[in-house]
Amino acid sequence: MNAITFLFELIFLLLFSCLIYFKHQNQLIVLGGLIGIWLTIIFALIPLGSLINKNK
């Protein structure tokens, strides 16, 4: 279940990245947005993962 959720988040990230790219077509905005999104999700997944492991 956790792996499936992670895959869905990756797919959503790719789609969101494409939307940002096609909307702005500015490499700096795309790069900044991608880095921000990835960092946010990585730091959000770390506490979520430990919470799920503690509950099981």
| Mean pLDDT (the chain, rounded) | 71
The whole-angstrom separation of Cα 2 and Cα 24 is 33
**Is the pLDDT confidence value at 1 over 60?**
no
The pLDDT confidence band at residue 18, using thresholds 50, 70 and 90, is low
**Is the pLDDT confidence value at 16 over 70?**
yes
H helices of 1-56, in order, are: 2-24, 27-55
On whether the pTM is more than 0.75, the answer is no
Listed by start position, the domains of the chain span 2-55
Query: In this predicted model, what pLDDT tens digit does every residue of 19-33 receive, in sequence order?
Result: 666 665 666 666 777
Residue % of the chain over a pLDDT of 70: 59
Which residues have C-beta within 8 Å of that of residue 21, sequence separation ≥ 6?
30
